[in-house]
Amino acid sequence: MIAALAAVPPIFMVGGVPFALQMLVVILIPLVLGSVRGGAACGLYVLVGLLGVPVFGGQQGGPGALLGASGGYFIGFILSGFIAGALATMVLRRRPRRPVMAASLYGVALDSVALVYVGGVTGQMVNASLSLHAAIVLNLPLLALDLVKAAVAVMFAIGVFTAFPKLLPVRNRG
């Protein structure tokens, strides 16, 4: 799913980083798949891209992608898959009512966005020799739109769990 949305041409570019819909799926994956499967899915996407398949934004692939302006985001995708996936599993095991589930999953989705941005900003500091301030300022225009994508990802996740309740993690005993 990440590769499919990365294939959609970017809506616009900010500092060499394409604003594409793949971030929506990067947020959604850990919400639905949890830590191990979410991290593995994001890791597999990055691995396929590093092996040269043009699955990254702008139809790019190969190990050189890690050295570009978007390189740090790929590391953030993997971190998000594992860490946000673990947080989502913790939330979902409690079986909260829908409004609490939505709010809690939105919090997890924001964590997912933060993890991706930490990777992205760090990558821009290393690969583009930007200061922390410059890298953060460069990312601000994308952040507002990614917060909206986080809300959409939560709605999709709740829809998936409503349609397929057996996908929910096993409830905590206690």
Q: What is the pLDDT of residues 25-78, one digit of tens each?
A: 999 999 999 999 999 999 999 999 999 999 887 778 999 998 988 899 999 999
Note the pLDDT of residue 3: 72
Task: Find the distance separating the first CA and the last CA of the chain, reported in whole Å.
Answer: 36
DSSP character for 52?
T
SS3 at position 31: helix
Residue pair 26/116 in contact by the 8 Å Cβ criterion: yes
**One-letter-per-residue 3-state SS of 79-124:** HHHHHHHHHHHHHHHCCCCHHHHHHHHHHHHHHHHHHHHHHHHHHH
pLDDT tens digit sequence for 97-154? 999 999 999 999 999 999 999 999 999 999 999 999 999 999 998 898 899 999 999 9
- Tracing tokens 């997890």 back to the chain, one arrives at 108
d(CA 170, CA 174): 12
Does 1.10.3720.10 match the CATH number of domain 23-166?
no
Predicted model pTM: 0.89
**Residue of 32, 45, 6, 132 lying closest to 91 (CA atoms):** 32
